[in-house]
């Protein structure tokens, strides 16, 4: 029962990290996950998946009856519980991974709700799911509430010296960095840059792991064609030595294992949540 929040410190888009992390974890671990966001519907995580036509039609006809719009409304009214929350989500991998699409008007459409109601939604979600991954782009109110509500934080950085200096200075005093488990990730990591992970750790005296997720053209194409799940299924057990896809899959898997370790979730048989 853990909420994983994503902090886009490098301002390069956490959805492109939240999605592969959710899919890989759902394939590697026999647990139930919920992937959601506070960003505007049809952007961010919503871009990556081609949903069943019936769900797509329902979303188009009743945009406020699915996803975060519905979940926040039900949470505010006191109706939301572990028995009905999945009625307002979309199954992506049966019995493993559900998605709650973002609000129709993004964070601006959620501002009428209070932090207490948002926290109640997270509480109910964690009663139904083993792990909740929530992407909250931007720097607004719900971004702050998401970071406060997450038990584990995934922090996205870039290979940029000025950005890294700012981050490691802030890490000395920011309670969201010093008081809860977190993991550092460099997206589109280039191991041949001078600003490598080993040099970053040496310069700032950082002892914990830093995870580099390399660019993968095949994955980028899968995202644009809304075939991300097919990409992971196709490459899941395939041995293609030193290919970009294999390096990408390996990097995402290692990150998934670390996040699950911080969330105290083991490789275990299905827990029966939601039964």
Q: 19-34 pLDDT, tens per residue? A: 999 999 999 999 999 9
Rounded to an integer, the average pLDDT of 107-131 is 91
Q: Is 11 left (phi over 0), alpha (psi -120 to 50) or beta?
A: left
267 found inside a domain: no
- Flag whether pLDDT at 59 surpasses 60: no
Rounded to an integer, the average pLDDT of 49-61 is 65
SS3 of residue 104 by DSSP = coil
28 found inside a domain: yes
Would you call 267 exposed, middle or buried from its count of C-beta atoms within 10 A (0-12, 13-18, 19+)? exposed
Output the pLDDT for position 275.
38
The percent of residues in the chain predicted with pLDDT above 90, rounded, is 69
Output the pLDDT for position 271.
40
Output the pLDDT for position 232.
96
What integer best gives the mean pLDDT of the chain? 89
Q: What is the CATH number of the domain that holds 75?
A: 3.40.50.300
270 found inside a domain: no
The percent of residues in the chain predicted with pLDDT above 70, rounded, is 91
Residue 269: CB atoms within 10 A of its CB come to 8
From first CA to last CA, the distance across the chain in angstroms is 15
Output the pLDDT for position 177.
77
Total domains in the chain come to 1
164 found inside a domain: yes
DSSP 35: E
Question: Tens digit of pLDDT for each residue in 224-256?
Answer: 999 999 999 999 987 667 799 999 999 999 999
59 found inside a domain: yes
Rounded to an integer, the average pLDDT of 122-139 is 92
Output the pLDDT for position 165.
96
- In this structure, of 67-76, 80-89, 220-229, 264-273, the range with the lowest mean pLDDT score is 264-273
275 found inside a domain: no
For 128, the domain range is: 2-262
Residue 13: CB atoms within 10 A of its CB come to 17
- Flag whether pLDDT at 200 surpasses 80: yes
268 found inside a domain: no
Output the pLDDT for position 41.
86
224: nearest Cα among 32, 9, 19, 1: 19
Split at pLDDT 50, 70, 90, the class of 106 is confident
Of 106 and 268, the one with more pLDDT: 106
- Flag whether pLDDT at 266 surpasses 80: no
Rounded to an integer, the average pLDDT of 215-221 is 96
Rounded to an integer, the average pLDDT of 85-92 is 94
């Amino acid at each position: 029962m853990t909420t994983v929040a994503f902090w886009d410190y490098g301002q390069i888009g956490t959805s492109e990290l939240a999605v592969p992390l959710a899919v890989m974890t759902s394939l590697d671990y026999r647990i139930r996950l919920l992937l959601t966001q506070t960003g505007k519907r049809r952007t961010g995580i919503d871009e990556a998946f081609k949903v069943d036509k019936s769900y797509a039609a329902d979303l188009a006809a009743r945009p406020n009856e699915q996803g975060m719009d519905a979940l926040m409304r039900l949470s505010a009214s006191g109706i939301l519980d572990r028995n009905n929350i999945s009625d307002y989500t979309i199954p992506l991998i049966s019995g493993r991974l559900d998605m709650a699409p973002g609000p129709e008007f993004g964070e601006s459409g959620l501002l009428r709700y209070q932090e207490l109601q948002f926290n109640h939604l997270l509480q109910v979600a964690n009663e139904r799911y083993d792990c909740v991954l929530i992407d909250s782009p931007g720097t607004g109110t719900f971004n702050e509430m998401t970071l406060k509500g997450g038990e584990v934080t995934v922090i996205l950085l870039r290979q940029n010296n000025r950005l890294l200096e700012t981050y490691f200075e802030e890490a000395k005093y920011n309670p969201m960095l010093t008081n809860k488990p977190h993991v550092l990730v460099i997206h589109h990591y280039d191991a041949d840059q001078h600003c490598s992970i080993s040099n970053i750790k040496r310069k700032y005296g950082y002892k914990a792991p830093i995870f580099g997720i390399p660019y993968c053209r095949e994955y980028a194409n899968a995202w644009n064609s809304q075939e991300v799940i097919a990409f992971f299924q196709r490459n899941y057990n395939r041995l293609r030595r030193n290919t970009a896809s294999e390096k990408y899959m390996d990097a995402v898997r290692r990150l998934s294992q670390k996040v699950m370790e911080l969330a105290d979730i083991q490789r275990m048989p299905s827990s029966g949540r939601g039964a």
